[in-house]
Amino acid sequence: MIFDEYAEENYAHLLEQENKTTQPDPSMIDIQPEIQWYMRPYLLDFLIDCHYSLRLQQETLFFAISLLDRYCSARVVYKRHYQLVGCTALWIAAKFLDKKSRVPTLSELAAMCCSAYDEDMFVQMESHVLSTLEWNISSATVPEMLAYHTRNDSPKSPVYTIANYLAEITLYDREFVGRPASQITCSCLLLARLVAGMQLSINMLCDDQVQLANRILAHAQNPSKSLIRKYSQDSAMSAYQAVRHFVATTSQLVPAIQDPVPQMVPGMAPPTPPQSPRRFAIGKVPAKAHPDMVRPAGHCITPPLTPESYHSVAMERY
């Protein structure tokens, strides 16, 4: 938790981290030969359940998903290794952020995966993830930024918990992958305060913030069962029920303020509409270049392969 006397300095550091850290690239995950986006909710449900059962910090979950996505943006991950990478990312994040007593052991990791992977496979994958990311794993997370923005709220205020619930919803879908944590934070905080019944001046909000909040609100209509279980409890201030009620009565937020419409004056010609921007012929945007990528003749750029140096083959879970 951010202490008041260092709040401004800590938040400035988070923004600096956000600017320095390489964000995941969903376009690179698109070209994974085996991993598909429909598999993501299954892995996310599993990781959220593991994270909750281990009683890890909220920041740990978001840190782990960031590591997972950054790795999948740089390396080809086989379907049978997808769960292995996810669990290893959670393990790394726990060691980085949580108490030592909360960090899962190798035997616990193997048990969580129903012995689909040998214990030494987690160690090998940990080394490979860290080397792929060049040990640059620090990143700002949404819960840390939410803690800053809600530090003066009442302890009984549900805003922080509701915002965390909405932020976890964004972890599931491709359209939010790679978005800076500060953007997700602001939009989730906006929604959480509205859900909590607070009055906000919509004129003070920018279009991008409202549009992103509307997209999050749309995804909140169908949350995963793992999130429903987690946020239906009293300890989570029944955030799921509060958001469900809000979603049922609100299709989307009021759009951000627009430029005022010019008033017509008798005897004057109507105002000239602004010119449309010049149109350009836009081709397909190429995938972001990567120093280790290879381009076979006649094929798209593909990330380098994950080594096959494991001692056993994991069960396919999807």
Within a domain: 230: yes
Q: Quick one: pLDDT at residue 3?
A: 52
Q: Mean pLDDT across the chain, nearest whole number?
A: 81
149 and 86 together in one domain: no
- Whether residue 243 contacts residue 166, with contact meaning beta carbons closer than 8 Å, is answered with yes
Give the tens place of pLDDT for each residue, 117-159.
999 999 999 999 999 999 998 888 999 999 998 988 887 899 9
Within a domain: 296: no
96 and 147 together in one domain: no
Answer with the one of 249, 273, 291 that is the final residue of a domain: 249
31 and 81 together in one domain: yes
68 and 32 together in one domain: yes
147 and 216 together in one domain: yes
Answer with the one of 204, 225, 249 that is the final residue of a domain: 249
Within a domain: 15: no
- Whether residue 106 contacts residue 125, with contact meaning beta carbons closer than 8 Å, is answered with no
Within a domain: 284: no
Within a domain: 75: yes
Within a domain: 211: yes
Q: Quick one: pLDDT at residue 158?
A: 94
Domain count, the chain: 2
108 and 40 together in one domain: yes
pLDDT(211) > 50: yes
107 and 151 together in one domain: no
- What is the domain range of residue 239? 142-249
Q: Quick one: pLDDT at residue 21?
A: 75
45 and 107 together in one domain: yes
194 and 166 together in one domain: yes
152 and 109 together in one domain: no
Answer with the one of 99, 132, 165 that is the final residue of a domain: 132
Within a domain: 108: yes
74 and 94 together in one domain: yes
For residues 218-242, give the mean pLDDT: 95
- What is the CATH classification number for the domain harbouring 196? 1.10.472.10
For residues 176-190, give the mean pLDDT: 94
Within a domain: 270: no
Percent of the chain with pLDDT over 70: 76
Give the tens place of pLDDT for each residue, 1-57.
445 677 777 777 777 777 777 889 999 999 999 999 999 999 999 999 999 999 999
The token pair that represents 227 in the structure block: 């999130």
Give the tens place of pLDDT for each residue, 262-307.
444 455 554 444 443 333 232 333 333 444 434 344 444 344 455 4
- Max Cα-Cα span within the chain: 85
Q: Half-sphere exposure (CA, 13 Å, Cβ side) for 125?
A: 29
26 and 127 together in one domain: yes
